[in-house]
Amino acid sequence: MLNLNDVSFFVQVVDRGGFSPAARATGTPKSTLAKRVAALEAHLGVRLIQRSSRRFSVTDLGQEFYRHAVAMLIEAETAENLVRGRLAEPSGTVRITASLPTVQLALAKPLVELAQKYPRLHVAVQAADRFVDIVQEGFDIAVRDHFAPLPDSGLIQRTVCSDPVYLVASPDYLAAHGEPAQPEELPAHQGLLTNPQAGGWQLQDEAGKTAEGRPQAKFSANESSVLLAAAAASLGITCLPRKLCNAALQAGTLVRVLPQWTAGSVTTTLLMPHRRGQLPSVRAVAELLAQRIPEAG
């Protein structure tokens, strides 16, 4: 009969693309992983993984076995969760990663609510302004804000909301430089851009008409909170997602420029590995985030 621990070790190795990354992610010695996978191969009488000092690859039969092994482990974990009452009350640790602005603006309140709603659940959040490989680094959920569609990565993707991007400036800047009435007037204004080569913004009005806004590059930063501060300091006009500038708009420190136009939108998506994404605890967290993140804007 199959040893489920050996099957789990095999899945961990395949998920992370090798014995060394699997050892780092799980804290299991590399030698132990290699020994247990070899024992699994011996039990099955087949080679599941081709490995050498320079190359790691999963055989065709190994890939097929992996798909069934993942399903097997999900069923085993679900059965264990049922016995422990996790379907009634999610418990255990759910690891989440997101960018720092997303954590500050969209996740703070929902995460507190999760902790209050599920006392047996431990939510571990890591704010990271870098690319995070959620499979190799052992995360259950990634919250990603993105302008372009995400590539097909083999992960569960759940779109949560779409946030319009506004043109904004301070009242003092507009009092000193005038307020543009059409995108064609933006070249006369100072632009706060994401990078010096950005050139400008692709705009769309409520009727679907498109235009290009090309202000003078006055200031650039690849971090939205810096652009927010620069706009509030009357340095020029910038583009920001609504949820990032909404508080400043309500306070009157910023106002919308060309309010009938937007500069695209930012989509928020939850990403989850297939095996982890089916656990009751992860599903409960994802469900609450999907309900609460749109409300944060």
Residues of the chain with pLDDT under 70: 53, 81-88, 275-277, 297
Q: What does the pLDDT read at residue 169?
A: 97
Which residue, 41, 57, 83, sits at the end of a domain? 83
Q: What does the pLDDT read at residue 222?
A: 84
The domain that holds 34 is classified in CATH as 1.10.10.10
Domain residue limits at 227 = 163-265
Same domain, 24 and 57: yes
Distance CA 68, CA 232 (A): 55
Instruction: Dump pLDDT digits (tens) for 233-253.
Output: 999 999 999 988 999 999 999
Same domain, 251 and 215: yes
Instruction: HSE, CB side, 13 Å, CA atoms: give it for residue 129.
Output: 8
Q: What does the pLDDT read at residue 37?
A: 92
Same domain, 211 and 141: no
92-98 vs 190-193, strand pairing mode: unpaired
Distance CA 289, CA 271 (A): 12
| Total tally of structural domains belonging to the chain | 3
Instruction: HSE, CB side, 13 Å, CA atoms: give it for residue 148.
Output: 2
